[in-house]
Amino acid sequence: MTPMQSKVTGSGALLVLVPGGLTGWVSWEPHEARLSATRKVVRVQLLSVQYGLEDRALGPDYSVKTESKALTATLDRLGLKQPIDIAAWSFGALVTLDFALDSPQRVRSLTLIEPPAFWLLRDKGQIDQEAEDVMGTLASIKDGEISEDDLEKFMCAVGLCPPGAPVRQLPQWPNWVKFRRSLRNTPAVLRHKDRAARLKSIKCPVLLVKGVGSARFLRQVIDLLGKELPQAEVIELPAGHAPHIVSMDRFLEKLNNHLARVGRPAAR
């Protein structure tokens, strides 16, 4: 399995950061700059984001499992065999959840920010009309060329369109357009399947983060995870699907408190 690209900074207790599926690891740059003052921080790049930037096809067998196995290969390459702390956002949180389900013994703690786990809603019989509509919108985004219209549909479907502000007029829009081919991963999100019963195997502490004003289905996923995971804490931060970015100070405070409660591992 091809490992993900990775960047390592700082020293001390280890924290792995897994990014969202659009802009990839750049979304964690400001967090890394602060966290690496006291920790060894590993940022990884999702294969779908790397391939999108290189305008390479993902291949017919690409799946969420492709990414979670690549995460495993990355940790192995870095020699990280001990249980680790991982923080992950959006598609990266979906990948990280899959990794933790397959290898719970390798996870010391999790921080998951709004994973688009449609599989959990399906398994618990909680796909409502709004979720069906979002799935229909995302299903229209194919894994070929990704247009700006596709990008706009995605941003609004996941709660990244502020009320009353056309998304194409936001200052971030030109940067998002550069990453639009990352969204070739969208079909894999909709195809992914699992069973809620397996969540009981994740016995480590889990911090679950949802955003005020985010898409309803993402908030439902967080609430379900909070009920199904043995050791879960749910917090809510402003704003939308990027609460750790919009509310970075508060997020880092909550993250550091979460990691402190878990206890300090040996430095590596």
| pLDDT of 104 over the 90 cut | yes
pLDDT digits (tens, 9 = 90+) for 195-219: 999 999 999 999 999 999 999 999 9
Please enumerate in sequence order all residues whose Cβ is within 8 A of that of 175, keeping only pairs 6 or more positions apart, or say none.
Answer: 23
Q: How far apart are CA 237 and CA 116, in angstroms?
A: 17
Share of the chain above pLDDT 70, in %: 98
pLDDT at residue 268 above 70?
no
Q: What value does the mean pLDDT take over residues 25-38?
A: 97
The domain spans of the chain are: 5-262
Q: How many whole angstroms separate alpha carbon 72 and alpha carbon 144? A: 27
pLDDT of residue 26: 97
The whole model's pTM is what? 0.96
Per-residue confidence at 1, pLDDT binned at 50, 70, 90?
Answer: confident
Instruction: Give CATH superfamily name and number for 5-262.
Output: Alpha/Beta hydrolase fold, catalytic domain (3.40.50.1820)
Q: How far is CA 101 from CA 5, 6, 15, 30, 250, in A?
A: 22, 22, 19, 29, 28
Residue 231 Cα to chain centre, angstroms: 19
pLDDT tens, residue by residue, 116-130 = 999 999 999 999 999
pLDDT at 267: 43
Among the ranges given (13-22, 45-54, 139-148), the one the predictor scored with the smallest mean pLDDT: 139-148
Confidence of residue 135 (pLDDT cuts 50, 70, 90): very high
Q: What is the dihedral of CA 117, 120, 123, 129, to 10 degrees?
A: -70
Would you say residue 251 has pLDDT above 70? yes
Confidence of residue 63 (pLDDT cuts 50, 70, 90): very high
Rounded alpha-carbon distances, angstroms, from residue 170 to 20, 167, 261: 19, 5, 38
pLDDT value at position 266? 40
**For residue 66, what is the enclosing H or E element?**
helix 64-77
**pLDDT recorded at residue 255:** 98
Using only the alpha carbons of the chain, give its radius of gyration.
Answer: 17
Reported as a single tens digit per residue, the pLDDT across 70-89 is 999 999 999 998 999 999 99
Mean pLDDT, all residues of the chain: 95
Percentage with pLDDT > 90 across the chain: 88
Q: Which pLDDT score is estimated for 264?
A: 53
According to DSSP, residue 213 is labeled: T
How far apart CA 89 and CA 116 sit, in angstroms, is 10
- Residues 146-200 have pLDDT tens digits of 999 999 999 999 988 877 778 999 899 999 999 999 999 999 999 999 999 999 9
